[in-house]
Amino acid sequence: MGEPGASEDLELLEEQVRALRELAGDRPDGARIYDFGVRWGTFLAGRLERLEHYHRSGGLSVDERERYAGLRSRLSEVLPLIEELGLARPRVVPPDD
């Protein structure tokens, strides 16, 4: 069993990556990008950093480690969208293990 809240963090971050893809496909205006960017930055600074800490300290379950590796891969895939929209770049990609 992993750290409390890790599965929820993974779910929320996976949802944010899906939302980022949708946003980029919609040709959003500046206000929508700004609103998304605020949430995006909060998730990266809080939940993603916490997951990275759990990952490095061995606090994730086997399933959570697999999901986290998949999340980091997806984050790496969306880096061009992140750059295009001018959003904060995650510090934990590309996968390093």
pLDDT at residue 93 greater than cutoff 80: no
User: What is the tens place of the pLDDT at every residue in 57-89?
Assistant: 999 999 999 999 999 999 999 999 999 999 999
Q: Is 50 helix (H, G, I), strand (E, B) or coil?
A: helix
Q: What is the dihedral of CA 68, 74, 96, 55, to 10 degrees?
A: -20
CA distance linking residue 32 with residue 86, whole number of Å: 12
User: What is the tens place of the pLDDT at every residue in 2-24?
Assistant: 677 899 999 999 999 999 999 99
Task: Provide the whole-model pTM.
Answer: 0.87
